[in-house]
Amino acid sequence: MTALDQHRHAPRLRVVVVGGGTAGWMTAAALARLLPTRCSVHLVESDAIGIVGVGEATIPHIRAFNERLGIDEADFMAATRATFKLGIEFMDWARIGDRYMHPFCRFGQDIGGVGFQHFWNRARQQGLGAGDFGDYAIGVAMSRRSRFASPVKQHPGITSAYSYAYQFDASLFARYLRHYSQDLGVCRTEARIVGVSQDAVNGDVTGLKLEDGSTIEGDLFIDCSGFRSLLVGETLGEPFEDWSCWLPCDRAIAMPCRTEGSITPYTSATAMGAGWRWRIPLQHRTGNGYVHASAFIDEQTAIDALVGAVEGESIASPRVLRFQAGMRRRSWVRNCVAVGLASGFLEPLESTSIYLIQVAITTLLELFPETPVTDIDRDEFNRTMTVEYERIRDFLILHYHATERDDTPFWNYVRTMSVPDSLAEKIALFRARGRVETYARGLFLEPSWLAIYHGQRVLAEDYDPRADIVPADRLVPALKRMRTEIAAAAHAMPDHEAYIATHFAMTGVDL
């Protein structure tokens, strides 16, 4: 018998998932669906452990997750009251009164292998009527007009090369995946965990003690216990790397309200005196919240500010969430893998919470271990997660740091703080000549960085000299043509709300 044959007959790992929020059920669903021969899945959840569920806005990667699990879009959208999302609108960030979008699409068309931003930048510097950078993005044009249609893949031009994500009710998503998982044989136990047993010799977690005195044993434990980080943090004592010196927001006040006006195909992030406010329109309500730094504003003032700012009648009273930016030094320790908030937290400014869950799951699937768990799998998992977290962290810091605001102590702090070297270099490189440092792993490609730099008024002092090769009398009409084409294409698309009502409306819910 060869090593391979032995492997095929190896017993399935008993996977125990701790926590039944978005992270827990996404993990359970993916493992049950994609690795049925390698593991059995047992999920333990307790209603006593609350679900945070701020991660209602997503980025396009979620569609790949759903697709891999064979989840039908219409079914999913109806069940989670989802709306489409073309990007995020940022208001009042660089200056009060500013407004820009970070869309899920590119800006303009490259010419002769030279990035579009250099032509735009040249036109801007030479007074050639460059217009707003956002005018060159179909996702921005659609958002401004509240339009939506599924992108047509066959014609990848500037008017159809966009992507989209969803805005949905995360607790309904968890419930949806719970049914999905249980249909695939995932065992669910509703109980409070009162203790964790560990192997006396090597410290591996061996089981969870429940309040009724029983124990759930397992080989591999997935810690989806949220901020508490029951296994990786509390039990195994993995240190938390604190990033709050760069991302000082540590509280959020959440309060849903009725939707007034149209259901926008984008999420909004409005800068406030000591943080920012989200607005996430779902089919049946609008989520709102004020992410703020408690060192700069007291809770009641923050609540008042949120209540004063929301557009419609509130559906629930304000709820306070507490957190800290940062991550566990390692997410996978011994035989425990932290997924979601148990592994770290980055504020939802760029809707990355569910993405971070997803990337942990994907990496775990690719590195699914044998028993005993070996360092080679753990190290690669941890290296991957660190890269992902740090790249998102730098991107978030950019939003705060690149501001001209000096109207509150909070903005003065973030504007003048020192940033990680990895980010300082990126900003310097961009300022010099509009160049974006690209990387193969991790979130946020060039268009995302361009959107934020320009939106935050970080402008390049120079442009790629190759952009000079197009004479001005050809550049001006070319730019104008791009803008006109994009505006016309967006204008011709259906209204977002009508599109949802026709294709993807929720069922059986009375508003």
Partner 1 sequence: MSARVHSVLVVGSGVAARMAAVAIARRLPRVAVTHINTREGDLLEDSLGAARPSIRTFHDIVGIDEAEIIRHTRGAYRLGTSVQGWSNCAYFRGHGMYGEPLGGVSFHQLWLRAGEAVKVGPYDAFCVAAALASRARFALPSPDPASPFAALDYGLQLNLPAYTHALQMLGRAAGVQEMAGHIETAERSADGTSITSLRLADGHRLTADLIVDASGCSAVARRQLPSTWVDWSTHLPINRLIVARESPDRVPPPSDRLVALPVGWRYEARTLGGTVHLFGYASHHLSETEAHRAVHADTGCEADNPPFVLRQGRLTEPWIGNCVAIGAAAVSIEPTAATGVHLVCRHIERLIAHWPGRDCTATPVEVAFFNRRVGLEAERIRDFTQLPYLLTQRPEAFWRNAANGPVSQELARDLALFRERGRLVTHDEDAFERDEWLASLIGLGVRPRRTDPLADAIPPNLAEQRLVEAAARLGRAVDETPTHAQWLQRLVAGTQ
- 200 burial level (CB within 10 Å; 0-12, 13-18, 19+): exposed
**Three-class SS state of 109:** coil
SS (H, E, C) 481-503: HHHHHHHHHHHCCCEHHHHHHHH
Check residue 328 for interaction with partner 1 (CB under 8 A): no
Answer for which of 150, 301, 371, 374 binds partner 1 (CB under 8 A) is 374
Bridge partner list, 288: 279
Residues numbered 112-131 forming contacts with partner 1, rule: CB under 8 A? 113, 125
Which element (helix H / strand E) includes 73? helix 73-80
Label residues 39-62 b or e (16+ Cβ within 10 Å = b).
bbbbbbbbeebebbbbbbbbbbbb
How many degrees, rounded to 5, is the angle at CA 76 between CA 72 and CA 78? 125
Check residue 85 for interaction with partner 1 (CB under 8 A): no
> Is 426 assigned a catalytic role?
no
* Cα 285 from Cα 306, distance rounded (Å): 16
| Among 53-61, 90-98, 460-468, 489-497, the segment contacting partner 1 (CB under 8 A) | 460-468
- Residues 468-497, one symbol each (x = binds partner 1 by CB under 8 A, - = not), give xx----------------------------
**Are residues 497 and 263 in contact, defined by beta-carbon separation less than 8 angstroms?**
yes
Check residue 161 for interaction with partner 1 (CB under 8 A): no
If the CB atoms of residues 99 and 391 are measured against partner 1, the closer one turns out to be 391
If the CB atoms of residues 309 and 432 are measured against partner 1, the closer one turns out to be 432
Check residue 372 for interaction with partner 1 (CB under 8 A): no
Answer for which of 47, 75, 211, 461 binds partner 1 (CB under 8 A) is 461
Q: Characterize the bridge pairing of strands 187-190 and 39-45.
A: parallel
- The per-residue DSSP string of 328-363 comes to ES-SEETTEEE-GGGTEE--GGGS-HHHHHHHHHHH
If the CB atoms of residues 290 and 381 are measured against partner 1, the closer one turns out to be 381
Answer for which of 14, 61, 68, 175 binds partner 1 (CB under 8 A) is 68
Rounded to the nearest whole angstrom, what is the least distance from the CB of residue 446 to partner 1 in the complex?
13
Check residue 240 for interaction with partner 1 (CB under 8 A): no
Answer for which of 315, 365, 470, 493 binds partner 1 (CB under 8 A) is 365
| Among 166-174, 329-337, 366-374, 502-510, the segment contacting partner 1 (CB under 8 A) | 366-374
Label residues 212-239 b or e (16+ Cβ within 10 Å = b).
eeeebebbbbbbbbbbebbbbbebbebe
Count the site residues for partner 1 by CB under 8 A.
Answer: 41
Answer for which of 202, 317, 438, 507 binds partner 1 (CB under 8 A) is 438
Interface residues with partner 1 (CB under 8 A)?
Answer: 3-4, 7-8, 34-38, 68, 113, 125, 365-368, 370, 374, 376-377, 379-380, 425, 428-429, 432-433, 435, 437-441, 461-466, 468-469
Which residues are the active-site residues?
85
